[in-house]
Structures are given as C-alpha cells and as structure tokens.
Amino acid sequence: MASSSTASIHKSFKYDVFLSFRGEDTRTNFVDHLYNALQQQSIYTYKDGEAIKKGNLISAELIGSIEGSRFYIIVFSRNYASSSWCLDELVKIMECHKMTDHTAYPVFYDVEPTEVRNQIGTVGEAFVKHENDEAAGKWKEALKEAANLAGWELKNTANGHEAKFIQKIVEEISLQLRSSDFDIDEKLVGMETRVKDVLSLMETGVDDVRMIGIKGMGGGGKTTLARAVFDQISYLFEGKSFIENVREVSSTSLSGLKSLQNQVLKDVSFAQGINISNVHDGKRMIKRMMRGIKVLVVLDDVDHIDQLAALAGMPNWFSPRSRIIITTRDEQVLVAHRVKLIVDVNLLSYNEAICLFSRYAFGTEIPIQGYGELSGKVVRYANGLPLTITVLGSFLCGKNVSEWIDALKRLETIPLNETLQKLELSYVTLEEDYKEIFLNVACILKGWSKELAIEALESCGFHATNGLKILEQKSLITISKPYEFVGMHDHIEEMGRNIVRRLHPNSRLWIKEEIKDILANDLGTNATRYIRFDIGNVNLEIVMKGLRKMKELRFLHVAPPHIQEDFVERHRNHDNVNQHLPNALQYLPNALQYLHWYKYPLSSFPNTFLGNNLVALKMVKSKIVQLWEGGERKVLNKLKILDLSRSNLMTLDLRSAVNLELLRLDGCNSLVEFHLPGRCLNLKSLTLTYSKLRTLDIGQTPNLKHLDLKGCYYLVEFRLPNPCLELISVNLSGSNLRTIDLHSCVNLKLLDLKYCSALVELHMPGKYLNLRSLTLTYSKLRTLHIGQTPNLEDLDLNNCYDLEDFHMADKCPKLTSLNISYSKLKTLDLGLAPNLKNLNLEECNNLVQLHVPFGCLENLVYLVLSGCLRYTSFLFDKRNAASSSRDESIEVGPLAELHLIAKSLKECPLHPDNTLRKFQFQCFYKDDPSSTGNVEKLLSFGLCACTNLETFSESICGLRRLRKLKLECYPEAPKDLDQLECLEELSISTTDMKHLPDSICMLKHLEILQLKDCWSLEKLPEDLGRLECLKMLTLSDTKIKHLPDSICMLKHLVFLELSDCFYLETLPEDLGQLECLETLDLSYAKIERLPDSICMLKHLKNLVLARCSLLKTLPKDLGELECLLELNMSSSMIKHLPDTICMLKDLEHLNLNHCLLLEKLPDDLDRLESLRSLTLRKCKLLRDIPISICKMKRLERLDVTGTCISNLPHDICLLKRLHILGSRGLLESSGFTSKIQTVQYEDTCFVDV
C-alpha cells in the first residue's frame, strides 16, 4: 500500500518576531512604530501587552511565546537593564538563539554596543541595582552575548532617522523570513530557476515601473510561479496585493471589476472603508493612491484587456520601483497592454515531474519501492503539466498496485476530467472560426509544419495565419523554432478531441480503427468534414465506397498506401486502367477543397468528380497519367496549389486553373504535353523538372517569383514572360536551349544555367542590381558580358571550354568566389573585387594577362593556377598592376592568408610584408620554398606548409615563431625540431620515416602531434613524456609495438589514438596516470589485455577497442570509468562482460558487433540508465536478452541481427523510443508483425516500437 503520510521539513513557529523592550522607554514611540511596520508586512509579531494580559509575571506563557518565535528583536534603551523582567527575557532569548532556526538581533536605540557589552555608561547606571542579585551573573553574560551579535544601531543608520531605521529593520527581517520560508511548501518543485527567470526581469532596484507578463497554458504553473515570486519579494514594497482569478471574478457579475479594484486598494492601503461606486471611479482612486507608494501587484489569470485597463492602466499610475505581474493564457492581452517583458512558463522536466508526483502520491522525493514503473507511466501521461501531476498524485495516494493499473488503463480512453475542464477555459473564449482551426489542429494538423498547416487551413476557407497566431498567444499551440512545426500539449490535444466527440461527432476522423470501421460498415455521414488516415491494409474499394456517404467532405489526407497497389494490379488493363476497376473506385466527394493522397493508385480521377471546389491538390508519386480520362477538362477556377511531383503524368491541361499560385511537377519524367492558362496572374512558383517537354509557353505570369525547369533535357524552345519583374530565381540547368533571353528579368537574385550544353547565346540586362549567384558551367558560350552586378557573390563559369571573351563589371564589391577554369581566355580583368576569396583559373592554358587593380585581392584565400602554362612565377608586391611590364607575374596587394595550388611555378610566392600568417602550398616540383630568401620574414609569424617537395631546407628550423607545421610525403622529419620553440601543432605523414628525432621532446608548447600513415615508424622517443603541453596524440597506421613508459607523464593529454597500429602488443601499466584523457582509440591493436590502471581514467568518455582480435577479457573494475559515454568492443574475443559494467551510469553507446564468443549479457543491464544504443549484430552465441532491458527507458536503438536470440522480452514494447533491427522471424515472434519494415540494402528488418 502506498503511504500517504508527509513529514514536515520545517519547524512550525507561533510568531515570526518577538519584541523585547523596556516599555517606559519605547512602548509608545519607537517600538509602537516598529510593531506596526512589521504587522503591515504580514510579519506576525509578539509585543508584550498585546498577546499576554497586562500584569502577568514572566511565566510559562511568556516563555512559550519566546520559544515559539523565530526571530527576536531586542531594543536596548537607557533603562532596559534596570528591568529584571527584561533581563530574564533576554536570558531566555539567548538560550533560544543558540538553538536551530532561532535568531536574535539587537537594536541599540539610544545606547551604544560597548555600553551594553560592558555595562557602562547609562546601561551601567541602570544595572547597578542588580549587582547583588543572585541572577546578576547570567544577566551580565546575556547582555554581553547580545551586544556581540550583528544588529542595528540607530545613530549609525539612516543618519538617525527613526522611520528609515525602522524600514531598514523590517526589510532585513522580511528578507530573512522570505529566504527561510520560500521553500516551506514542500510540494513545490522546480520553482527556484523559474523564480530567478522572473526576478531577472523585475530588477527591483531600478527606478522605473515594470509590468511583467507570465504566459502559459492552463494548469501549467503560472499562478504558482507568480505566488512564489510574490512571497519572496513582497517585503520590499510598501504596498502589495495578489489578486487571484481575475477572469472568473470579472465575468461572474457586472460589479466584478469594481470588486477587484476595491481589493487592490484595500490591500495596498490597509484601509477597510474604501467603497468604489463604479469602475471609472476605481481607476481614478487606484491612480491617485498608487502614485505615492511603491507597490507590488499580481493580477492572476487575466484574459481581457479591459481587466488590465481597470486594474493597472498605465505605468504612470504607479510610483517608481513599482512592479506589476500579470499571468495569462493569452499573450495578445499582454501585447495589447504594451507589456514588453514576458516569461513563458516551462512545463516540468521528467525528473521534476517525478519529484512533484512523488510528493503528492507518497510524501517522498522519489517513488517508493514497487511503484517506480507505474509512477513513470503517470508522469509520461501528464507530460510535464503540474495540474495533472498533482491531481493524479492526490488521487492515487494510498491506493494499491491493482488500483493504479486500473486507473492508468482508464486514462488511455477517458481523459482526466479535472484537467480538461481547466484547459477548456481557453477554448470557450475563442471566436467560432478560431475554434474550428483549433479543433483541426487537435485532430489533424498537430506535428505539421506551420507552412503546410496554413496551406491546408486556408484551402478550407480559414484565415489560418492569424488563427494560428491567436492560438499560440492563448497557449493552445506552440510553434517550435527554428523549423516552425505546430505543436500542442497532449492534454490540450485530448481536450480538443474530446470536444469533437462531445459536440461535433464524426466531423473529424483521425483514428485509423474508427475510420476503418466507418468505411467497412458504410457508416459515413454528411457530418464528416475532415479525414486524415493511413490507408494501410484497408481495401481501396471499401475506401471509395465509404466516401460516397461523405458528400460534404472538405479535407482528405491519405498517408502512404501499402496494399492498395496490389489491388489495382489485379484489375489492371494496360490499355485502360480504370475501365476494369469496380465502379465504387470511381468516386470522390465534390465538396473536397483539400485533397492530399500520396501514391494515388488510379490513372485519373473518376469522371463524376468535378473538382470545382478544389483549392489544394497534392498527389506526389501518384499513378495518375491525366487528370480526367480522355483528357476531359473540368473547371478548376478555385485551384491554388497543385503538386503532382514524381507522378506518371503524361499530359496536363490546366487552362481552366486561372487562380493557380503554386504549381509543382518535380520529376514528372513522362510529361510530354502541358498547358497553362493564357493569363495566370497569381502564379508565384512553377517547378517543372526532368520532364520530356520540348516546348513550353507559360503565358502571362507577371507575379512569378520562382521558376525551376532543371533537367528538362528535351526543352529546345522556351520564352520567359514579359514583363517578369517579380522573378527572383531561375533554374534552367540541363536544358537543351540554344538561346536564352533574360532582358526582362531585371530583379533576378539567382540564375542557374549549368549543363546547358547547347547554349551559345545569352542575353542579359545591362543592370542586375540584385543578382547574387550566377552559374554557367559547361555551356558553349564564346562571349559573356556581365553588366552592373553590385550584389554578385558567386560566379561559376568552369568548363566553358569555348569561352574566349569575358567582361566583368567594373565593380563587384561583394564577389567572393570566381571560377573560370578550363576556358580559352587570354586576358582577364577582375575589376574592383576587394572581397574575392576564391579564384580558380585551373587549365586556362591561353591566359597571358591578368589585370588586378591595386589592393583588390587582399582577402584572397584560395588561388588555383594549375595548368596556366604561360605563368611561371607568382610574386606579391604593392605596385599597381597597370604599371607592371612583366607578362609572367601576378602582382597582388598584401594578404593575411593564402592557399595556393599550382603545378608549374618556378618560385614559391612569398610576401615581403608581415601579414601572411597562414599559408598552404601544394606544388609538384622539387623547388625549395625558402629559395627566394623571404621565408624567414614570412614564416616568423607562422606557417602551415602542405607540400609534396622531396627536399626541405634545414633553414625551416630557424623559424622560431612557427606555430603549425604539416609535412606530407617527406622522407624524414628535420633533426633540429627543438629550435621551433613556438610550435603548437606538428603533423607528419610519410611512409619512410622509422624514428622520430629526439629533439621533438624539447617542444614545450606542442599541443597536437599527429603521425598518420607513417607505416615505417617503429619507435617513439623515450622522453616523449616531456611534451608537457601535449593534448592530442595520434599514432595511426604505424609499426609501433610498445609505447614509452614516459607517455604516462602527459598530464594534459585528452586524446590518444592508436588505431590501425597492427603491431601494438602492450600498453604501459601506468596508463591510468593520464588523468585528463577523454578518448582512447585502440582499434586493430594486437593487445591481449588492458592494464588494470585504465580504470583510474576518471574523465574517459570514449573507449574504442574495435577489432582487437586478441582481447579476451576486460578489467573487472571497468565500472569505475564513471564518465564513459561510448564503449566499442566490436569484433573482439570477449566472452563475458564484467559485472561492474552496469555501474557505467553515463554510458550511452555500447557496441558489441561481431563479438563471436559473447554468450551472455549482465542480468541487471537496466542499471545502464543512460544507454541509448545497444549493438549486438552477429553475436552468434548470444541466445537471450535480459528481461531488465524493458526498464531502459532511454534506449533508442537495439540491433540483434545475426544473433541466436529467438524472442525478445514481452514488455520491450513499452520502450516507445526504441528502433529494433533484427530478422523478420525474430520480430514476428516478438509480436511486431504489423510494424515490420525491410531495410532495402541488406537482409534486415526493423520496427519502431
């Protein structure tokens, strides 16, 4: 039986504050003011003469009051020490002060702390008469202890002003109370961070007036959050008011708003006689009263702008530093009231939800034994909604397991009524058309992209853009960023579907079983307006027959079919597909406005279907050959969206579709005939790719923006409309056009004409002010003149083999990439292109002149000159290129970075200025790149040299500021590497090097050492451990057999890769000393065991032991690798996993592929609580999966292909995220028959649980 008891965490106090004072000194002045100030802040305060009858001696009753108080304020005045009553109080107070949860604060009113501490001055004079009393000793000790406590001294605070002094005391006491009380509600969970989010916007110390909105769905914790914020900071304000249920109170009667105004005024002023005659009068009074005091007002559950106008009209109603908090489900209310600071309430995370549920169900932080899995189901059903969690927690408290199971089964079909009622409040305030949109999202469109949802809704006559915005503002839907999918909380979805069942039965059908039943039993009615279903194994004849009774159907969305194609094949006659199909197949409701049928199986529409109401028609991958049999034309004047991509379409006549806006015929590679209206004034996008059209006339389409005809290889005749001022992108790539005239397309941004291999003539306007990208590869153009293109960024003319004459604009300020490779150009004038980064002139064999204005290539990064045979040298200097008389040089301004690829240069380009900090050079000649004499100056600021040179000058080692060095295909590393004292990264790839020079160990700043494909390398320097800054060490594809022991001294090493080291036999025993190591890759090593010390690698995240074919065992303490995320032991000889492996709480991926000897997995596999992927492919001796796998809630992928496992645990179906790969027989025997899908490229099946 689940326990219902809840132990209080905090001690209960009768009073917040106990005032100790000398009555004749301060009762009627200072203490009286202090007492009232505390009371106004709702601080329950004990003051002698108020709670205990006058004349009572100090007694058990007074002692009880002292013991029952949390804080003590001791007001020391001139005569305090003369009263034995006060001194006895003080002794008791100091006793309690030493106890937990009690705190005493001294107030030095008209005496100083030293007087109290030492009983001197006026305090000493007052205490004289007690010198001979028996209690004098303990009184003195109490006075001394109290004087040593932190407190307040009037003369040193607020310049002696009592009012400010009292305010300071009250603020401090309030702060202490709030900090200790803030978490006193032990059933609040997750509030701390949410409160901080709100407080960060409030900035209570800033002298403005702020209104903060808290927005979220019903039951999401808005009120709880507002109350928590209010409780924590209300003491900072002179007046405060928390107005609950504004929506409910203001709507129940005409005087509702007036009563709320009354409450605000009474709360902030403590006046009881306020009586407002009307709302206008209330506004005037609130405005007048609020201006004088700093207030905190919370208006909870606001749903109309009138409520805010009556209660918190404008910021100028309030005094500076006032704060107004507004909670609402409707963001538009906040927007309309000019509230700028809005917080979205986040629903509870899974862990927070478990904690909250446990507190209500068990009075504990976590579920009690035996209820963990059931609690998880409840929490997943609640999906983070606090209201549902608390209701179910309270409901299930004290019930036994069978009652829990029964309740959960009921929730599967009958939603929680208390939650739905709360959520439905947001729905009832919607206008009728927005209600319809909401119900369509709940039943049909949840999970759709916003764009497609708007398309579907607008097709059905709704104002969808505004409607979805309204629903989002009212927290009924969410629009996820950045992909903008329409989301909806599960309970809001349930609420919407419940409304449909209750108020609009059968208007929307979305449950496959219900749809199948209605269609199969011919139960359709005219009430049905919207259907979305996966046709699955429903017979197509039944579907069409069932639709006959749904004559008012507006929306039909059919998901991918499976069996229906076989049905069509059985009735197929290749001369006329339709005529042999049953008549029932030839019906669609004429009321349809939105029709989406993926893989529609018929070759045309039934002739009885008029299509005159269609707004959107989408039939991707359909069998349709023509819209209506025999080419019959129907009136489609409402059609706006048509998508028949990848269909069998051969002819398409759309001359009646005069209102088309979007036409998509992507991949209709059988299309040979196509007609558009002569005037298609609304068409904005036309996609007609890979068709067999030879000619195309798109008529008058003045609003066309996007035209895509790529892959129309047969297209020889096409003319763009004139005018086409709206056209911004044109793709004619792969067409067979010889001439293209673009004179009328002056606003193009993207022009793609690649692979137009017949193109010999291109006409362009003199100004292309918006053009950003022009691609013209593989054309037969001989001349190309580009006019003004101030926004051109990318120009690609590669493989224009016939191009001899090319003129760019004088200025291309945004051009970053220019490719003119494989052309016949002799001269090239780059014009003013200061941002050019990539210049490719590969195989421009005829190029003899390149004109570059001074300073125009200072951002150049990649330059390709391979095959430019006329150029043999490449020099940098600052001279104007126009003044140069050399034909075989390129003169460019100073660069910061250069990657140069060239085949025929005699000299390496070197810069005389100190700006080239990064340089990559690939050349197939044997020249020494230091030969020009400028190397030292250049490389003193760093070099990344990638070269195929066979010799390398030893002068490179004199470049003391070199930071990065990469050597490829180089026989030996320089011997004097130690001179490169600033080197941080060294990469060597060579087949000949057998040993690294010992000098490498002197590189104190080296962080990265990569030795890849050094197939001859047999040994590393013994002192490699002296590389004290090394973080990354890669030794792949070497002949190394052993690592030097000193490698264990690399205290900063994070990454160690020894992959493909086929000769590696042992690892250092002290490998565990690499305390920062995160990745260790030993794949293909010949090691037989791992050193036990490897278990000391507390930061290791990735351990790769793939194809370690001699490895048979793992260290028994492997579970101590507490940070391990990935363990790959594929193709090893492991027979058993150590029991401790289940201690790896953070392990996410476990790969045991091809572990041919593996016989068994640990029984407590579920202790791997973070595991997401378990791969057991080809573990041929493995026969069972532990039943504990059913508890692995985070498991997403399980691969059991090629194992001897004959059945999976029954409850594995509860792992709703799981994707299982295995043989068809295994999956069928495990109950997944209906979900099995086949992987195309191998003999494997999978299911998504």
From 61, 67, 89, 1069, active-site residue: 89
Distance between CA atoms of residues 35 and 39, nearest Å: 6
pLDDT of residue 322: 94
pLDDT at residue 1105 is higher than 70 = yes
Least confident of 260-264, 395-399, 571-575: 571-575
Question: For the segment 1223-1235, what is each residue's pLDDT rounded down to a tens digit?
Answer: 877 877 776 655 6
pLDDT band at 618 (very low <50, low <70, confident <90, very high): very high
pLDDT at residue 906 is higher than 50 = no
Cβ-count burial 1178-1192 (b if 16+ within 10 Å, e if not): bbeebebbbebbbbb
Q: Which of 522-526, 661-665, 697-701, 1083-1087 has the highest mean pLDDT?
A: 661-665
Around 1097, how many Cα atoms within 13 Å sit in the side-chain half-sphere? 31
Least confident of 120-124, 392-396, 1228-1232: 1228-1232
Mention every residue, 6+ apart, whose C-beta is less than 8 A from residue 305. Answer: 333, 336, 337
As a whole number, mean pLDDT of residues 494-498 equals 91
Distance between CA atoms of residues 493 and 486, nearest Å: 12
Least confident of 53-67, 158-172, 866-880: 866-880
pLDDT of residue 920: 52
Distance between CA atoms of residues 104 and 98, nearest Å: 9
Least confident of 21-25, 571-575, 845-849, 1041-1045: 571-575
Question: For the segment 167-188, what is each residue's pLDDT rounded down to a tens digit?
Answer: 889 988 887 876 665 544 556 7
**Closest of 520, 598, 499 to residue 556, by C-alpha:** 598
Query: Cis omega (within 30 of 0) on the bond before 582?
Result: no
pLDDT band at 897 (very low <50, low <70, confident <90, very high): low
As a whole number, mean pLDDT of residues 520-533 equals 90
Read off the tokens for 871: 């150029």
pLDDT of residue 516: 86
* Chain centroid to CA 98: 50
Distance between CA atoms of residues 920 and 922, nearest Å: 7
pLDDT band at 248 (very low <50, low <70, confident <90, very high): confident
User: When comparing pLDDT for 636 and 255, which is higher?
Assistant: 636
DSSP secondary structure code for residue 82 in this structure: G
The reply to whether 184-344 and 419-504 are identical in fold is no
User: When comparing pLDDT for 688 and 832, which is higher?
Assistant: 688
As a whole number, mean pLDDT of residues 610-617 equals 96
Question: For the segment 277-329, what is each residue's pLDDT rounded down to a tens digit?
Answer: 899 989 999 998 888 889 999 999 999 999 999 999 999 999 999 999 999 99
Cβ–Cβ under 8 Å, residues 711 and 734: yes
pLDDT band at 1247 (very low <50, low <70, confident <90, very high): low
Cβ–Cβ under 8 Å, residues 241 and 260: no
223-227 contact pairs (CB < 8 A, 24+): 223/300, 223/301, 223/327, 224/188, 224/191, 224/386, 225/191, 225/194, 225/195, 225/198, 225/327, 225/345, 226/298, 226/300, 226/325, 226/327, 227/298
Question: For the segment 327-348, what is each residue's pLDDT rounded down to a tens digit?
Answer: 999 999 999 999 999 999 888 8
pLDDT of residue 1066: 92
pLDDT of residue 519: 85
- For 492, phi then psi, to 5°, come to -70, -40
Query: In percent, how much of the chain has pLDDT > 70?
Result: 85
Q: Euclidean distance between the first and final Cα of the chain, in Å?
A: 32
As a whole number, mean pLDDT of residues 605-617 equals 93
814-821 contact pairs (CB < 8 A, 24+): 814/772, 814/790, 817/793, 819/795, 820/844, 821/864
Question: For the segment 977-994, what is each residue's pLDDT rounded down to a tens digit?
Answer: 888 888 888 888 876 788
Least confident of 63-77, 157-171, 445-459, 760-774: 157-171
**Closest of 1134, 1119, 1129, 1182 to residue 1153, by C-alpha:** 1129
Cβ-count burial 1068-1079 (b if 16+ within 10 Å, e if not): beebbbbeebbb
pLDDT band at 1236 (very low <50, low <70, confident <90, very high): low
Cβ–Cβ under 8 Å, residues 684 and 703: yes
Domains of the chain by residue range:
15-179, 184-344, 419-504, 507-634
CA distances from 730 to 90, 812, 820, 1242 (A): 90, 21, 21, 40
CA 428, 429, 433, 435 torsion-angle sign: negative
Read off the tokens for 459: 């097709």
Question: For the segment 468-479, what is each residue's pLDDT rounded down to a tens digit?
Answer: 999 988 888 888
pLDDT at residue 42 is higher than 70 = yes
Distance between CA atoms of residues 727 and 737, nearest Å: 19
pLDDT of residue 677: 92
Give 725-770 as a 3 state SS string.
CCCCEEECCCCCCCEEECCCCCCCCEEECCCCCCCCEEECCCECCC
- For 9, phi then psi, to 5°, come to -85, -30
Query: Helix or strand or coil: residue 174?
Result: helix
pLDDT at residue 694 is higher than 90 = yes
pLDDT band at 1050 (very low <50, low <70, confident <90, very high): very high
Cβ–Cβ under 8 Å, residues 457 and 433: no
pLDDT at residue 647 is higher than 90 = yes
Question: For the segment 415-457, what is each residue's pLDDT rounded down to a tens digit?
Answer: 778 788 888 888 888 999 999 999 999 999 998 999 999 999 9
Please state at what angle helix 512-520 crosses helix 540-547, rounded to 10 degrees. 80
User: When comparing pLDDT for 440 and 866, which is higher?
Assistant: 440
**Closest of 1040, 1020, 1080, 1074 to residue 1056, by C-alpha:** 1080
Question: For the segment 776-808, what is each residue's pLDDT rounded down to a tens digit?
Answer: 999 999 999 998 999 999 999 999 999 999 988
DSSP secondary structure code for residue 992 in this structure: S
pLDDT of residue 879: 34
> What are the start-end ranges of the E strands in 421-554?
478-479, 486-487, 508-509, 530-536
Mention every residue, 6+ apart, whose C-beta is less than 8 A from residue 1236. Answer: 1224, 1227, 1228, 1245, 1246, 1247
pTM score, whole prediction: 0.63
Superfamily covering domain 184-344: P-loop containing nucleotide triphosphate hydrolases (3.40.50.300)
pLDDT at residue 666 is higher than 80 = yes
Angle at 775 between CA 769 and CA 776, to 5 degrees: 115
- Reported as type and span, the H/E element at residue 311 is helix 305-311
Q: Is 981 designated active site?
A: no
Residue type, 562: H
As a whole number, mean pLDDT of residues 73-96 equals 93
**Closest of 347, 307, 353, 352 to residue 327, by C-alpha:** 307
Distance between CA atoms of residues 1063 and 1087, nearest Å: 9
Please tell me the class of the 15-179 domain.
Answer: alpha beta
pLDDT band at 1238 (very low <50, low <70, confident <90, very high): low
User: When comparing pLDDT for 573 and 815, which is higher?
Assistant: 815
pLDDT of residue 1222: 86
pLDDT at residue 69 is higher than 80 = yes
pLDDT of residue 235: 80
Query: Helix or strand or coil: residue 1007?
Result: coil
pLDDT at residue 1249 is higher than 90 = no
Question: For the segment 584-597, what is each residue's pLDDT rounded down to a tens digit?
Answer: 467 899 999 999 99
Query: Helix or strand or coil: residue 547?
Result: helix
Q: Where are the alpha helices (DSSP H) in 75-190?
A: 84-97, 113-118, 121-127, 136-147, 162-181
Looking at every residue in the chain, the average pLDDT score rounds to 83
Around 770, how many Cα atoms within 13 Å sit in the side-chain half-sphere? 12
Distance between CA atoms of residues 360 and 344, nearest Å: 25
CA distances from 36 to 160, 163, 292, 1162 (A): 19, 12, 19, 68
Residue type, 639: L
Distance between CA atoms of residues 1035 and 1012, nearest Å: 6
Mention every residue, 6+ apart, whose C-beta is less than 8 A from residue 131. Answer: none
pLDDT at residue 267 is higher than 80 = yes
Cβ–Cβ under 8 Å, residues 1245 and 1239: yes
Question: For the segment 1113-1135, what is each residue's pLDDT rounded down to a tens digit?
Answer: 899 999 999 999 999 999 999 98
Least confident of 155-169, 1154-1168, 1175-1189, 1220-1234: 1220-1234
As a whole number, mean pLDDT of residues 668-677 equals 93
Mention every residue, 6+ apart, whose C-beta is less than 8 A from residue 426. Answer: 217, 218, 329, 330, 474, 475, 476
pLDDT at residue 732 is higher than 50 = yes
As a whole number, mean pLDDT of residues 1097-1126 equals 93
CA 185, 190, 192, 198 torsion-angle sign: negative
Query: In percent, how much of the chain has pLDDT > 90?
Result: 46
pLDDT at residue 871 is higher than 80 = no
DSSP secondary structure code for residue 531 in this structure: E
As a whole number, mean pLDDT of residues 519-533 equals 89
Instruction: Indicate the CATH number for domain 419-504.
Output: 1.10.10.10
Question: For the segment 185-231, what is each residue's pLDDT rounded down to a tens digit?
Answer: 556 787 888 888 899 999 888 889 999 999 988 888 899 899 989 98
pLDDT of residue 363: 87
